[in-house]
């Protein structure tokens, strides 16, 4: 599913084959705001109009428009996992929030376990960079933050020597 974005809101895109229209709704808010159009390009226009109308309607009703995904949510975990996470945060001198954020990022990136050496190959660069485990641990977050902010997409695979390669 393609996602439309406008003014911090995101919207879904669907095709209704029975009715022969494109349709969608604003995602991640409690209110139901839908839009539809005859073509995908018109759907984007209708989505933006729906967002503007939603914001205007909320102001007319003297209520704040909901922001999609504020970056806060409650997580329920077993007490032992909570304890381990707090201990890890203390050991690393960071907040529990930072530990959870890192773990979630790593999970969503489907990052593989790192072997003794890692081959990092970026598009357009012909040589591989080998980094020891100790060096990797120090630069791991900086590297993945860089990749997230770029157009590089990583795929991982194990080479003949059993090393995980990101390319």
Q: What is the pLDDT of residues 31-57, one digit of tens each?
A: 999 999 999 999 999 999 999 999 999
| Residue 72 scores a pLDDT above 90 | no
| Residue 135 scores a pLDDT above 60 | no
Angle at the Cα of 31 (from 28 to 34), degrees rounded to 5? Answer: 85
Q: Which residues contact 130 (CB under 8 A, 6 or more apart)?
A: 117, 118, 119
Q: Do the beta carbons of residue 111 and residue 144 sit within 8 Å?
A: yes
Q: Hey, where are the domains in the chain?
A: 3-60, 74-109, 111-167
Alpha-helix runs per DSSP H in 35-132: 40-60, 79-92, 96-109
| Residue 134 scores a pLDDT above 50 | no
Entry pTM: 0.52
Which residue's structure tokens are 């309607």?
Answer: 57
- Spell out the CATH class of 111-167: alpha beta
| Residue 153 scores a pLDDT above 60 | no
From CA 133, how far away is CA 8, in angstroms rounded? 39
Mean pLDDT is lowest, of 15-24, 29-38, 41-50, 152-161, for 152-161
The radius of gyration of the chain's CA atoms, rounded to the nearest angstrom, is: 22
Q: Could you tell me the pLDDT band of residue 22, with boundaries at 50, 70 and 90?
A: very high
């Amino acid at each position: 599913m393609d996602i439309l974005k406008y003014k911090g809101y995101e919207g879904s895109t669907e095709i209704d084959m029975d009715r022969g229209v494109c349709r969608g709704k604003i995602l991640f808010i409690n209110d139901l705001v839908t839009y539809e159009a005859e073509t995908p390009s018109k759907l984007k226009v209708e989505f933006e109009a729906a967002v503007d109308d939603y914001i205007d309607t909320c102001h007319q009703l003297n209520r704040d428009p909901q922001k999609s995904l504020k970056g806060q949510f409650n997580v329920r975990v077993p007490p032992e996992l909570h304890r381990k996470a707090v201990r890890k945060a203390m050991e690393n001198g960071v907040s529990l929030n930072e530990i959870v954020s890192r773990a979630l990022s790593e999970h969503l990136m489907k990052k593989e376990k790192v072997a003794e050496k890692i081959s990092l190959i970026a598009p357009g660069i012909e040589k591989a960079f080998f980094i020891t485990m100790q060096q990797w641990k120090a630069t791991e977050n900086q590297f993945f933050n860089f990749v997230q902010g770029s157009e590089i997409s990583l795929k991982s695979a194990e080479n003949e020597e059993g090393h995980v390669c990101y390319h």
